[in-house]
Amino acid sequence: MTATTRLALLVLGLGLILGSVLASPYPFGTKVLPTDIDFGRPLRSYAAPNPPPDFSGGYWETGVVLGYDDTDVVYLHQGPLGVGLAGVLANDVRLTPFGYLPAGSKVTPQDNDIGMPLVPIPPVFPPGTPPSIGYSNLYGSPDNDLDDPVYLHQGWVGIPPIVPVITNDVRLTAIGGIQPGTKVGNLDPDMSYVFAAGTAGSSQPITQFIGAAGFILPISPAAAIRYVDINGNSQYDYPDDVYLMTGLPLTGPLGRQSVSVNDVRLSGP
């Protein structure tokens, strides 16, 4: 190993250590409280020099069973699916576990899933509609709140008719002792839940749909997936914390610009 290589590895190691010190200590799938240390941290839109134009959602078909099922790994991916940089990238976030690597962990170049092909999650219900992110309003409040579970659904939950939680939807928050990052099973208690229809005028416009290239597109600028630039290098990388924004107010053309109560953490410490 040359002196230049050793120096590069040392700098990388120091960067990861510094990032881990500054990053949020809270686990994947938890919601932000006003007393949390990451409350109020500035959020960045996913923009250049990151792979344009945004995060996308897709899964690795492991081939244990053909077609999307409980054996496949779901990712929050940088850039579009199947365009340019192919497959799972370093710093993609696992939304479901892969082996001993938990949901919320970021992919590193040494991991066995690096480079694996990604495809869009197929829509199931309603048929022909894009997959989306939504919540189930369990307690009758006007909008999404701290107690309401959030899911990645295989269909569009943004408009009526009533859309149910279905098998292999991904839990992005815990519900009833069941951990985030798990997929819904046929006998699970939340199979009876239904999604709240999202509207652009909602004070908690969490509902988002996943377009043809996998992009996670908000129904309004207030609902988006953004990140905190922990190491200040102006681009998304390993130390950065990722959040699902879940509410108003708008503070400009790009929406609210800081971590707020009820935002969902999409990456772990």
* pLDDT for 202: 62
**Longest distance between any two alpha carbons in the chain, whole Å:** 64
Q: Count other Cβ atoms within 10 Å, centred on residue 6.
A: 10
Answer whether residue 201 shows pLDDT above 70: no
Residue 117 and residue 158: Cα distance in Å, rounded? 29
Cα dihedral 148→152→158→163 (10° resolution): -80
* pLDDT for 246: 83
* Secondary structure of residue 181 in the 3-state scheme: coil
* pLDDT for 45: 86
Strand ordering across the sheet containing 93-94: 55-60, 73-78, 93-94
Stated pTM of the model: 0.87
Contact 75, 52 (CB under 8 A): no
- What's the chain's length in residues? 269
CA atoms within 13 A on the CB side of 127: 0
Answer whether residue 53 shows pLDDT above 90: no
Residue with structure tokens 């409040």?
141
Answer whether residue 140 shows pLDDT above 50: yes
Contact 132, 153 (CB under 8 A): yes
- CA of 160: how far to CAs of 44, 87, 150, 164, 199, in Å? 32, 34, 18, 11, 10
| Mean pLDDT over each residue of the chain, to the nearest integer | 84
Answer whether residue 141 shows pLDDT above 70: yes
Decide the pairing of beta strands 55-60 and 73-78.
Answer: antiparallel
Answer whether residue 60 shows pLDDT above 90: yes
> 232-243: per-residue pLDDT in tens?
999 999 999 999
* pLDDT for 152: 94
Residues 143-154, mean pLDDT to the nearest whole number: 91
> 69-79: per-residue pLDDT in tens?
999 999 999 98
Answer whether residue 9 shows pLDDT above 70: no
Residues 244-268, mean pLDDT to the nearest whole number: 78
* pLDDT for 143: 78
16: confidence class by pLDDT, cuts 50, 70, 90: very low
